[in-house]
Chains A and B, each alone.
Chain A
Amino acid sequence: MLELAAVQGVSVEDQGIDNSPLAIRGLTVSYGQKPAVFSVDMTVHPGAMTAIIGPNGAGKSTLLKAALGIVPPLSGQVTVYGQPLGQQRAHIAYVPQRASVDWDFPTRVIDVVLMGLSRELGLLGRIRARHMARALDCLHRVGMRDFADRQIGQLSGGQQQRVFLARALAQGADLYLLDEPFAGVDAATEKAIIAVLKSLKEAGKTVVVVHHDLVTVTDYFDHVFLINTRKVAEGPVAEAFTAETLQAAYGGRLATAQIDQISRALG
C-alpha cells in the first residue's frame, strides 16, 4: 500500500507547482501501522488564505508538519515556490499549536519574538536596536506591545497565541503556516489574529491555516483543503466547501444540524 503511494507521488500531474507557494505531491506519513496522511497532493494558491479542514485525527496538523519537515514523511515531495524546502526556509513562517511548547520556559515575550529573527542574526549576531524595533513592531501589530517584558507563562492562552503570531511576523516570510491558531482563544484574540492574517493577504502573502471551526470558514478564508487521511476536496470555498464534500470528509461525525447551519451560512 505504502509503496504504491510512493509511485503515485512521482506520477501525478505537475501543473501549477512552479508558482505555488507550497506544493505537495504524494505525501504519506505514518506514526505506526496506520498512515496519518495518505498519498496527499496539495497545491496552495498564491496570495490566498487557505483553511485545512477535517475531523479530529484526520491528519491536518501532520500534513503541515510533514510539509515543513518537522515529522519525516514515508514518501512524497514538497516544493516551496518551485524549489525544495531546504533552500526556501527564509520564505516560510510557522506557528505551531500553542500546547506544543512548555510555557514555563524561562523567557520573556520579547525574547520569543526575537527568535523569529534568528535566521537573520545567525549563530552569534548581536541583537541591535533595529532588530529590537522590528520585534516590538510585530508585537504592536498583534496588540501585545505592552507585554514585551512579561514572562511568557504569565500570559493567557490568547495572548500566548498572539505572541507566536508576532514571532512569525518577525520572520518576514512570504508563506505563513498556522496550526490551529484559534483553538481555545478569546474572541478579542480571534479578531486580532484574523485582522493580521487579512493584512498579510493584502500585502500579497500566502496564508495556510489548520482550522476546526466550520462556521467561520466562509468568513475567513477564500480557499479550503478538506482532508480525512486522504484528500477529500481542494479549491475556492464556493466550489470545494459544500455539504457534499463536508459529508465526505466528516462522514457520520458531522451532525445533520451542523451541515444545515453551514449550508445556510453558505447561502
Chain B
Amino acid sequence: MSGEEFVPLSLTPLLIGTFAAIACALPGNFLVLRKQALIGDAISHVVLPGIVVAFLLTGVISTWPMMLGAAGAAVVAVVMIEAIRRLGQIEPGAAMGVVFTTMFAGGVLLLEQTDTSAVHLDVEHALYGNLESLIWLDATGWSSLLDWEALAGLPPELPRITLTLAGVILFTWLFWRPLKISTFDEGFARTIGIRTGALGMALVITAAIAAVAAFDAVGSIIVIAMFICPPAAARMMTNRLETQIIWSVVFAITSAVLGYVLAGYGPLWLGSGDAVSAAGMIATISGLILALAAVFGPCRTRAGAPSSA
C-alpha cells in the first residue's frame, strides 16, 4: 500500500490502537499479579453513571465533559473498591463485583430519568469509539507528518492516548521498584516505608485513566482484553517480571497491528467483501496469543510452590 493511502486511512487507527493496547497492558501486569485484573471490566461499567452525570450537568454531548465524568466515576469506583476491600477484609473480586454492579445500575436508572427522547444521549456512541473512523483526512502521504497544517487535522484521540500512554510509562518507570516489592510482599514493603495503600490506589487510578482514554478511542472490548491477555500470556513466557513487561508490550503491539490488518483485509482475502470490527479482531488476536502461550509457553506450569511444608 502506498503512503497516499496508508497515512490518511490506516496510520492513525494503527497508532491509536497500539498506544491504547500498551497503556492498558502495562498496569495490567501488576493487576494480574495482584489478582485485580477484572478492574478493567469493572471500570467499563462504572463509567456509565459518570457520563450521564456529566451530560446532566453540562446539557451537551461533547467529549471532554463526558471523559471527565467517566474518569471521575472510575476514580470514585476504584477508591470505593479499595475501601471495601480493606475495611471489609474481603477479596478484591468481591469488592469489585459489589461496586460495579451498583454503580452501573445507578447509571441505568439515571439514564432512564433523563429525557433521552429530546436529546439523543447515545452512550454507545459517546463511549465505545470506532477505531476505523479515526482517519486523518488532511494527510496526503508520508510528507504530511512534517506538515503543521495537516498535523492540526489529526484526530484528537491520538494526542489524548499518546499523552495517557506517556503518563502510564512514567508512572511504571518511576514507581517500578515499590510496585514490584509491594506486589510481591506487601508486609515487607510497609516495613521499609513504602506506603502500600497509596501506591495500590495510584496503580488502580492509573489503570482507570488509561481505561477511560482507551474507551474513548477504541472501545471497551479492547480495554478489558488488554488488561488481562498480554500480561497473562507474558507471564507464561518468563519467570522474571522485567522480561514479562517486555513480552506484554510485544503482545499488545502484535495484537493491535495484526488485529487491525486482519480486520481490514482478512475478509477480503477470504473472498468476502466487508471488513470486520477492528476492535473485535484485536481482542480476539490477544485471546489467541494467550491461548498459544498457555499451550506452548516455556513457563506455563506453576513452578510448584511447596504446598506441603
The answer to whether B192 touches A118 (Cβ under 8 A) is: yes
The answer to whether A184 touches B174 (Cβ under 8 A) is: no
A160 at the interface (CB under 8 A from B): yes
Which residues of A are found within 8 Å of B309, using beta-carbon distances? 98, 156-158, 184-185
Q: How large is the interface on B (under 10, 10 to 19, 20 to 34, 35 or more residues)?
A: 20 to 34
Q: Which residue of B lies closest to A92 (CB)?
A: B191
The answer to whether B241 touches A157 (Cβ under 8 A) is: no
Which residues of B are found within 8 Å of A105, using beta-carbon distances? 33, 183-184, 241
Which residues of A are found within 8 Å of B306, using beta-carbon distances? 103, 155-157, 160
The answer to whether A121 touches B177 (Cβ under 8 A) is: yes
Which residues of A are found within 8 Å of B185, using beta-carbon distances? 96, 100-101, 115
How far, in angstroms, from A68 to B187 measured CA to CA in the complex?
9
A191 at the interface (CB under 8 A from B): no
Give A240 Cβ to nearest chain B Cβ, in Å. Answer: 27
B296 at the interface (CB under 8 A from A): no
Which residues of B are found within 8 Å of A69, using beta-carbon distances? 190-191
Knowing A101-B184, A119-B192, say if A108 contacts B305 (CB, 8 Å): no
How far, in angstroms, from A167 to B192 measured CA to CA in the complex?
12
Knowing A124-B174, A151-B303, A153-B304, say if A119 contacts B187 (CB, 8 Å): no
B175 at the interface (CB under 8 A from A): yes
Knowing A106-B235, A107-B241, A118-B181, say if A70 contacts B174 (CB, 8 Å): no
- Name the contact of A70 in the complex, choosing from B33, B175, B180, B190 (C-beta under 8 A): B190
Which residues of A are found within 8 Å of B187, using beta-carbon distances? 65, 68, 70, 94, 96, 100
B36 at the interface (CB under 8 A from A): no
How far, in angstroms, from A115 to B184 measured CA to CA in the complex?
10
A4 at the interface (CB under 8 A from B): no
Residue-wise interface mask of A (142-167) relative to B, using a CB-CB cutoff of 8 A (1 in contact, 0 not): 00000000011111111010000001
Knowing A65-B187, A96-B185, say if A154 contacts B303 (CB, 8 Å): yes
How far, in angstroms, from A151 to B177 measured CA to CA in the complex?
18
The answer to whether B192 touches A96 (Cβ under 8 A) is: no
Give A18 Cβ to nearest chain B Cβ, in Å. Answer: 22
Number of cross-chain contacts by CB at 8 Å? 99
The answer to whether A108 touches B181 (Cβ under 8 A) is: no
Which residues of B are found within 8 Å of A152, using beta-carbon distances? 303
Residues 148-207 (chain B) with a chain A CB within 8 angstroms: 174-175, 177-178, 180-181, 183-185, 187-188, 190-193
Q: Which residue of A lies closest to B35 (CB)?
A: A102
How far, in angstroms, from A108 to B241 measured CA to CA in the complex?
9
Give A221 Cβ to nearest chain B Cβ, in Å. Answer: 22
A contacts with B: majority SS = mixed
Which residues of A are found within 8 Å of B175, using beta-carbon distances? 123
The answer to whether A115 touches B188 (Cβ under 8 A) is: yes
- Name the contact of B241 in the complex, choosing from A94, A106, A118 (C-beta under 8 A): A106
Which residues of A are found within 8 Å of B181, using beta-carbon distances? 115, 118
Residues 76-113 (chain A) with a chain B CB within 8 angstroms: 86, 89, 92-94, 96, 98, 100-108, 111-112
Give A127 Cβ to nearest chain B Cβ, in Å. Answer: 10
How far, in angstroms, from A184 to B306 measured CA to CA in the complex?
10
Give A168 Cβ to nearest chain B Cβ, in Å. Answer: 9
Which residues of A are found within 8 Å of B125, using beta-carbon distances? none
B244 at the interface (CB under 8 A from A): yes
- Name the contact of B191 in the complex, choosing from A68, A112, A121 (C-beta under 8 A): A68
The answer to whether B193 touches A89 (Cβ under 8 A) is: yes
How far, in angstroms, from A151 to B235 measured CA to CA in the complex?
13
Knowing A96-B185, A115-B188, say if A104 contacts B193 (CB, 8 Å): no
- Chain A CB within 10 Å — which of B180, B191, B243 has the most? B191
Residues 233-289 (chain B) with a chain A CB within 8 angstroms: 235, 238-241, 243-244
Residue-wise interface mask of B (69-110) relative to A, using a CB-CB cutoff of 8 A (1 in contact, 0 not): 000000000000000000001000000000000000000000
Which residues of A are found within 8 Å of B120, using beta-carbon distances? none
How far, in angstroms, from A31 to B178 measured CA to CA in the complex?
27
Give A79 Cβ to nearest chain B Cβ, in Å. Answer: 16
28 contacts between A and B (CB under 8 A): A31-B89, A65-B187, A68-B187, A86-B193, A89-B192, A96-B185, A100-B187, A102-B184, A102-B305, A103-B303, A105-B33, A106-B238, A106-B240, A107-B239, A107-B240, A108-B240, A115-B184, A115-B185, A118-B181, A123-B174, A124-B177, A152-B303, A153-B303, A153-B305, A155-B306, A167-B188, A184-B309, A185-B309
Given A96-B187, A115-B188, A153-B303, 14 more pairs with CB closer than 8 A: A68-B191, A69-B190, A69-B191, A93-B191, A102-B305, A106-B238, A106-B243, A107-B239, A115-B185, A123-B174, A123-B175, A123-B178, A154-B304, A184-B309
B residues contacting A by CB (< 8 A) are: 33, 89, 174-175, 177-178, 180-181, 183-185, 187-188, 190-193, 235, 238-241, 243-244, 299, 302-306, 309
